[in-house]
Chain A
Amino acid sequence: DAGVIQSPRHEVTEMGQEVTLRCKPISGHDYLFWYRQTMMRGLELLIYFNNNVPIDDSGMPEDRFSAKMPNASFSTLKIQPSEPRDSAVYFCASSGTGRETQYFGPGTRLLVL
């Protein structure tokens, strides 16, 4: 099993640009989570999906952030426009129904200049 795959691994962009982060969950998993990790706020859940449907997006910081899951094997997290305070490591994780463990991807390190 390839595990959770995220791309890109690193992203450097300028303020105001659109950023798209991508995630491929583990095959067969029907829950997908997006997290953000910063020194100041630690690990925060942004949004999660079940069977491709967004269930809870209460952690999404503002309207500049959006997430989609068009099919069971792909999800995107988009920031438009990006701001320096969005600089963080963004993790995607997936889990299967009835299985307690979330499996994390390697993360995308985002730097907004």
Chain B
Amino acid sequence: AQSVTQLGSHVSVSEGALVLLRCNYSSSVPPYLFWYVQYPNQGLQLLLKYTSAATLVKGINGFEAEFKKSETSFHLTKPSAHMSDAAEYFCAVRYNAGGTSYGKLTFGQGTILTVHP
């Protein structure tokens, strides 16, 4: 079984401050991990993904995430927040073993990021 836990349903930062959104996962097989962003009234858009290559993954809009197997974590960071980063962020893990669950994504509950001027 696999699961994703996002620590903190709401995170608030000032413009220009570091953004850190936390994600921990559990998976019985080596996972693929994803961060998606959802702007109000829109669908989910892929920010970045880890697929067993480099552990530090760079995504769009200046975001990056580091896969740490020992900590079962995949935290999302951005050095300097911008007002346009305000959105909801979802961490997801993909099941990579066989069977009917292959390819399914399990999402965390989401973290709403607020950016203050």
Q: List the A residue with the shortest CB-CB distance to B50.
A: A100
Min C-beta distance of A90 to chain B, whole Å:
11
Q: Is the CB of B104 within 8 A of A56?
A: yes
Q: Is the CB of B107 within 8 A of A43?
A: yes
Could you tell me how many residues of chain B have their Cβ less than 8 Å away from some Cβ of chain A? 23
Known contacts: A42-B109, A91-B43, A106-B43. The answer to whether A101 contacts B49 by CB under 8 A is yes
Could you tell me how many residues of chain A have their Cβ less than 8 Å away from some Cβ of chain B? 23
Q: List the B residue with the shortest CB-CB distance to A58.
A: B100
Q: Is the CB of A100 within 8 A of B51?
A: yes
Min C-beta distance of A98 to chain B, whole Å:
10
Select B105's contact among A45, A56, A109, beta carbons within 8 Å: A45
Min C-beta distance of A75 to chain B, whole Å:
15
Q: Which of chain A's residues have a CB closer than 8 A to the CB of B105?
A: 33, 45, 102
Q: Is the CB of B101 within 8 A of A56?
A: yes
Summarize A's interface: helix, strand, loop or mixed: strand
Q: Which of chain A's residues have a CB closer than 8 A to the CB of B45?
A: 104
Q: List the A residue with the shortest CB-CB distance to B107.
A: A43
Select A31's contact among B36, B49, B100, B103, beta carbons within 8 Å: B103
How far apart are the CA atoms of A95 and B103 in the complex, in Å? 9
How far apart are the CA atoms of A95 and B100 in the complex, in Å? 16
**Residues in A lying within 8 Å of B, measured CB to CB:** 4, 31, 33, 42-43, 45, 48, 50, 55-56, 58, 91, 93, 95, 100-107, 109
A–B pairs, 30, beta carbons within 8 Å: A31-B103, A42-B108, A42-B109, A43-B44, A43-B90, A43-B110, A48-B104, A50-B103, A56-B100, A56-B101, A56-B104, A91-B43, A91-B44, A93-B44, A95-B103, A100-B32, A100-B34, A100-B49, A100-B51, A100-B94, A101-B34, A102-B46, A102-B105, A104-B36, A104-B43, A104-B45, A105-B43, A106-B43, A107-B43, A109-B41
